[in-house]
Amino acid sequence: MGVIIKRRAGVPHLTGIARLSFTNFLIALGAAFSGTVLSIHFNDFLNNEMAVGLIFSLLTFIGFISYFLFIPVIEKYNKVKLFSRVLFFVLLAYLAMFLSKNLYIFIFSVAVLTILSCLRITSFGILVRNCSDNKRLSRNEGIVYTLLNSAWVIGPLIAGVIALEYGNNFVFLFSALFILVAFFSFRGFRVRDKSVRKKLDTNFFRNYLAFFKDKERRIAYILGGGVTLWWAFVYVYIPLHIINSGLSRIWVGYFLFGVAVPLIIFEYSFSKKAGKIGFKKMFFMGYLFTGILALISFFLFENIFIVLALLVLASVFMAMLEPTTEAYFMDLLKDKEMSHFYGPYNTSIDTGHFIANIFATGVLFFFSFKSLFILFAVFMFILALVSLKTKNIVEANRG
């Protein structure tokens, strides 16, 4: 319980990690609601799966650029104040998505949300790192991701019902409500941060080259991007496949609920294990077995329910990767490098999404939807091989 609650003068208090995790849980609920219907909502506008993929590619490119452009902002401003202000504007973006009836206004609103997410994710990650010591970082990341994925268990089920009864727009309204609660909760928790730098790095290209100059950072970046590459497949394309298979929209909620359950069951234990035995084995097994399940799904494609079950099973192996890839990258950095390099590392989120959407769009142009399972199986097998080149950092052995 010391991870969540500690005593001060005999009085129990929530730990810093617990407070941050709870705030992130509320934010993730908002994201889970909107993420459940976003690709379907775009498809309602466009009625074209390839066009949906291209829009998501554009959004991920915007996100990629934003992470580097906002390095000076991350370095200059107090992360607590920055995180709080970003939440307020995220709330406004969700309200704009709720009210929007025009495709271009909707795309603009989602683009703004994408840019804000870059600042939110980076400032939040630095706050988590500042609340963690060297021996407990992977464990704390496990706590954060366990609560985050708990939101992705609850969110899709409720969002599916709301979308079915009232339409997609009202799902975005509920996203805004959760962000509103997160905003006031975070302000009430009084989290502190002093990691502000006076000397800022404002050169985009120098920052880009400095980050990728280091081999270990490049490998960590690739492995982190691989996680989001897989989730792009699951959250963008599988909902479209469910609808095209003749199932109702509520099945999207059921599926995304099922995908998140293994994450909340296994992520904390896997992240603790990685802290004791190192990261390399976790990375290799996670990517290898996810790829195998994607390949099996290709051969059993005609049975939609078996395919969905296999993708849910793949989440067990993704639980080995989601918190540990980020913890591994943070373990590579010195404290003074966090503000400078954590933002660029988070572009792996957008790179993973961009690669997934561009390659998926190309495959759909020439082949059937079934071929996507071969594509993502190959991606996973490549990442399993890349993971063998990682340093086997063991947090339990660190001072």
Q: Which residues of 338-374 are buried (b: 16+ CB within 10 A; e: fewer)?
A: bbbbbbbbbbbbbbbbbbbbbbbbebbeeeebeebbb
For residues 342, 144, 82 and 59, what is the CA-based torsion angle, rounded to 10 degrees?
70
Buried b (16+ CB within 10 A) or exposed e, 246-260: ebebbbbbbbbbbbb
CA pair distance 253, 251, nearest whole angstrom: 5
From 29-38, 215-224, 246-255, the region with the lowest mean pLDDT: 246-255
Answer yes or no: CATH 3.90.920.20 is held by domain 17-190+213-397: no
- CB–CB of 287/322 below 8 Å? no
For residue 12, what pLDDT is reported? 39
In the prediction, which pLDDT does 11 show? 36
Sorting pLDDT into bands at 50, 70 and 90, what band is 295?
very high
Q: Taking 90 as the threshold, does the pLDDT of residue 318 lie above it?
A: yes
Residues ≥6 apart with Cβ < 8 Å to 72 = 200, 201, 202
Answer whether residue 338 shows pLDDT above 80. Answer: no
pLDDT tens sequence across 204-217? 567 667 778 888 88
Mark out the alpha helices in 300-337 (DSSP H runs): 304-318, 322-332
Place of tokens 């790179």: 351
The band of 15, judged by pLDDT with boundaries at 50, 70 and 90, is: low
Residue 129, pLDDT score: 75
Pairwise pLDDT comparison (44 vs 29), residue with the higher score: 29
Confidence at residue 222, expressed as pLDDT on a 0 to 100 scale: 92
DSSP category for residue 195: -
Q: What is the pLDDT of residues 60-85, one digit of tens each?
A: 788 878 877 777 777 777 788 888 89
Helix (H, G, I), strand (E, B) or coil at 319: coil
How wide is the angle at C-alpha 48 spanned by C-alphas 47 and 54, nearest 5°? 130
Nearest CA-CA partner of 273 in 314, 228, 321, 225:
321
- CA-wise closest residue to 365 among 54, 124, 106, 30: 54
88 Cβ neighbours under 8 A, 6+ residues apart:
183
Least confident piece of the model among 9-13, 241-245, 316-320:
9-13
Model-level pTM?
A: 0.72
Residue, of 16 and 274, whose pLDDT is higher: 274
Region 291-307: mean pLDDT is 93
Q: What is the pLDDT of residues 111-139, one digit of tens each?
A: 999 999 888 888 888 787 777 665 666 67
**pLDDT > 90: what percent of the chain?**
26
Average pLDDT, whole number, for the chain? 82
Q: Which helix (H) or strand (E) holds 12?
A: strand 11-14
DSSP assignment of 26-68 = HHHHHHHHHHHHHHHHHHHHH--HHHHHHHHHHHHHHHHHHHH
Q: What ranges do the domains of the chain cover?
A: 17-190+213-397
Instruction: Give pLDDT, residue 151.
Output: 86
For 207-230, what is the mean pLDDT? 85
* Segment (H or E) for 11: strand 11-14
Question: Ranked by mean pLDDT, which of 101-110, 161-170, 251-260, 351-360 comes out on top?
Answer: 101-110
State the pLDDT at residue 298: 93
pLDDT of 97 higher than 70: yes
